[in-house]
Amino acid sequence: MRLIELQRRMASDVMRPLSSRAPAVSDYLTPNTLLTAAERLDIYHRQYWFRLLDALAEDFPAMRALLGERAFSNLSKAYLAACPSKSFTLRDLGSHLPSWLKVDPGRAGKYGALAIDVARLEWAHVEAFDAASIPPLESASLASGPDLRPRLQPCLRLLELSHPADEIRLAVNRGTFRRSILPIETNPAYKYRIAVHRMDGNVFYRRLESGEFQLLRRIQRGLSLGEVLAGRIRGFNDPETAKSKLRTWFEAWTVLGWLGE
């Protein structure tokens, strides 16, 4: 067996599903005085899987708290079997978890849609933590006219959710999370609009008003400042209120560094 064939064979056996057995391990491994060839391989096999499971638990602590240890472990194994890692870094391991759950919310048991929202928030947290940043836009630049095309920071994520996933994650972080008081039912008439952003190396969540969320989405699409403000904005019925809101929002975005050049 050539070296490359041996490496591929062992890698395949190490990364096989956790509950399976590798066939004919003795073809390329020998036993020692204490362990069989299969037992020697299982050491690496278990280490590989336990590291993957630990990485998912680290990136999705609210999901873990929501489902409970056993259910989260079972869901993680099913997810990794369906969406095995194809990246050199564990950072990307949970990238498909929200979409995988969306295909079949029943995988999360009774928490269904709530679990999807929690997964979306927690993956956005991962992305915001290490995404790129661009030079922030100076407040004076906003006066340059309607042709200005501000950009959103690449590390900013905008979410529209049906559940208060941010409250759940924060409660888990504080150690005050209780499953007994969870809002499991979805209220289709209400949306939680959340900005997941990074500041000074830390990730924060900020609730957004409907109009504020709408404007940020327009900026995200690459529209000019004039185009951003030209369309109808939800909740802007009174001109004076609209002017005050716009001033407050743009000042906040500038202070937070959300707008880039």
Q: pLDDT (tens digit, 9 = 90+) per residue, 63-95?
A: 999 999 999 999 999 999 899 888 999 999 999
Q: Give the residue-averaged pLDDT of 247-252.
A: 92
Please name the residue ranges forming H helices in the chain: 3-14, 37-59, 61-67, 69-82, 97-103, 112-130, 165-174, 210-220, 225-230, 239-256
Question: What pLDDT digit, counting tens, does each position of 132-182 carry?
Answer: 999 998 887 877 888 999 999 999 999 999 999 999 999 999 999 988 777
CA dihedral for 48, 49, 54, 60, sign (positive or negative): positive
Per-residue model confidence as pLDDT tens digits over 11-26: 877 888 777 777 777 7
Q: Is it the case that residue 241 has pLDDT exceeding 70?
A: yes
The pLDDT of residue 30 is 83
Query: Would you list the DSSP string of 70-114?
Result: HHHHHHHHHHHHHS---SSSGGGTTTTHHHHHHH-GGGGGGGHHH
Single-letter amino acid, residue 216? L
Please check whether residue 235 is in contact with residue 156, taking contact to mean a CB–CB distance below 8 angstroms: no
234-259: average pLDDT: 85
Residue 137 DSSP one-character state: P
Structure confidence by residue, pLDDT tens digits, 171-227: 999 999 988 777 656 566 789 999 999 999 999 999 999 999 999 999 999 999 999
Q: Alpha-carbon distance 58 to 168, whole Å?
A: 15
**From CA 42, how far away is CA 107, in angstroms rounded?**
28
Q: Could you tell me the pTM of the whole model?
A: 0.88
Flag whether pLDDT at 255 surpasses 80: yes
Strand, helix or coil at 204? strand
- Rounded to a whole number, what is the largest CA-CA distance in the chain? 83
- What pLDDT score was predicted for residue 44? 84
- DSSP, collapsed to helix, strand or coil, labels residue 249 as helix
Residue type, 120: R
pLDDT of residue 184: 56
Tell me the C-alpha distance between 225 and 3, whole Å: 59
Residue 45 pLDDT grade (very low, low, confident, very high; cuts 50, 70, 90):
confident
- pLDDT, residue 230, reads 84
- Give the CA distances from residue 105 to residues 62, 108, 112, 137, 217, in Å, rounded to whole numbers and listed in that order: 17, 6, 4, 40, 27
Return the number of other C-beta atoms located less than 10 Å from residue 44's C-beta. Answer: 14
Contact yes or no for 167/129 (Cβ under 8 A): no
Query: What's the pLDDT at 197?
Result: 97
Residue the block writes with tokens 């336990």:
50
Q: What pLDDT shows up at residue 187? A: 66
Identify whether the C-beta of residue 108 lies closer than 8 Å to the C-beta of residue 75. yes
| Cβ atoms of 195 and 205 closer than 8 Å | yes
pLDDT band with cut points at 50, 70 and 90 for residue 43 = confident
**Cα distance between residue 233 and residue 249, in whole Å:** 13
Per-residue model confidence (pLDDT) at position 183: 61
Q: Residue 16: what pLDDT? A: 80
From CA 93, how far away is CA 194, in angstroms rounded? 23
Per the DSSP assignment, residues forming a β-bridge with 136 are: 260
